[in-house]
Amino acid sequence: MDINSIGVVGAGQMGNGIAHVMALAGYEVLLNDINQDALDGAVARIDKNLERQVSRETISADDKAAAMGRIKTTLALPAVAGTDLVIEAATEREEIKHQIFDALGPHLKPDTILTSNTSSISITRLASRTDRPERFMGFHFMNPVPVMQLVELIRGIATDEATYQTCLGIVEKLGKTAASAEDYPAFIVNRILIPMINEACYALYEGVGNVASIDNAMKLGANHPMGPLELGDFIGLDTCLSIMHVLHDGLADTKYRPCPLLTKYVEAGWLGRKTKRGFYDYRGDTPVPTR
């Protein structure tokens, strides 16, 4: 399938990153959100991140100008349905994703491919509510999108080969690497990563170590570039908790029980970097452990 235009639903951290790399790769991008401030902020962030690439000489000023010229924004969700491929990158809540695909449905072109950037929700279940489960799949980018090289491609039970090959071709055009995952809870990366963060929360909860000792142990003892609690703050503790619930509900195994301390932080609104407090306090010049 020939893909020229891409619609991105959601202008948050993932959505603006996806719009960035798609525009830089030559695709016409239509970025949608329910909030004009979010759209304006996304365009400003893309411009800033592209400028950073220019300063590092990984792209030229002309490349940046061309990419910015390919990005359009809209508050009207039906407008996105006119693109060749839609990437849903909204909040990690299944009911919201269903509402988005339900709203897009009546306006879609016959051959438009639908995809979701979900990090854990069943692709088969999302696809089953649409009129094109064979042209629906998971298109899971890693954060931050312009930097991370992996994209998980997840086929639902009905996804056809042409849809998979089309999305694989897009990943290759982006210069990224695809990992094919089966449609099981949290796929590959988060099936392994998020339980590790949850286990670090248990180590903190049980007093095995404090925040600094746990993160330093994994950075220096396992050569991880970022400690698990610091990484949880970066991802968003609400997102980590949501994925743990998906794993626990979907696999019915007690090893995926969310740590009560993780739940408490989310209930407090301490979600990590985006709220300035999580396992670290980010309100000063240097992050300070909160436990």
Does the annotation mark 117 as catalytic?
Answer: no
- Residue 231 is inside which H or E element, if any? helix 228-235
Ligand-binding site membership of 14 (annotated): yes
Ligand-binding site membership of 196 (annotated): no
The one catalytic residue in 152, 198, 230, 242 is: 152
Residue with tokens 């990943």: 171
Ligand-binding site membership of 227 (annotated): no
The one catalytic residue in 119, 120, 198, 242 is: 119
Does the annotation mark 152 as catalytic?
Answer: yes
- Residue 289 is inside which H or E element, if any? strand 288-289
Q: What's the CA gap between 204 and 7, in Å, rounded?
A: 41
Ligand-binding site membership of 5 (annotated): no
Ligand-binding site membership of 15 (annotated): yes
Does the annotation mark 190 as catalytic?
Answer: yes
Residues 84, 8 contacting (CB under 8 angstroms): no
Residues 102, 108 contacting (CB under 8 angstroms): no
CB under 8 Å to 193, separation ≥6 — which residues? 231
Output the CA torsion sign for 172, 176, 179, 181.
negative
Q: Which of 212, 187, 178 is nearest to 286 (CA)?
A: 212
Residues 139, 6 contacting (CB under 8 angstroms): no
Residues 71, 33 contacting (CB under 8 angstroms): no
Output the CA torsion sign for 8, 154, 263, 225.
negative
CB neighbourhood size of 109 (10 A): 10
Residue 136 DSSP SS3 = strand
The one catalytic residue in 20, 88, 140, 230 is: 140
The one catalytic residue in 190, 198, 230, 242 is: 190
Ligand-binding site membership of 12 (annotated): yes
Residue with tokens 């490349």: 63
Does the annotation mark 55 as catalytic?
Answer: no
**First and final C-alpha spacing in the chain:** 52
Residue 58 DSSP SS3 = coil
**Residues recorded for the chain:** 291
Ligand-binding site membership of 97 (annotated): yes
- Catalytic residue numbers read 119, 140, 152, 190
Binding site, by residue number, is: 10-15, 33, 92, 97, 119, 143, 274
Binding site for NAD(+), by residue number, is: 10-15, 33, 92, 97, 119, 143, 274
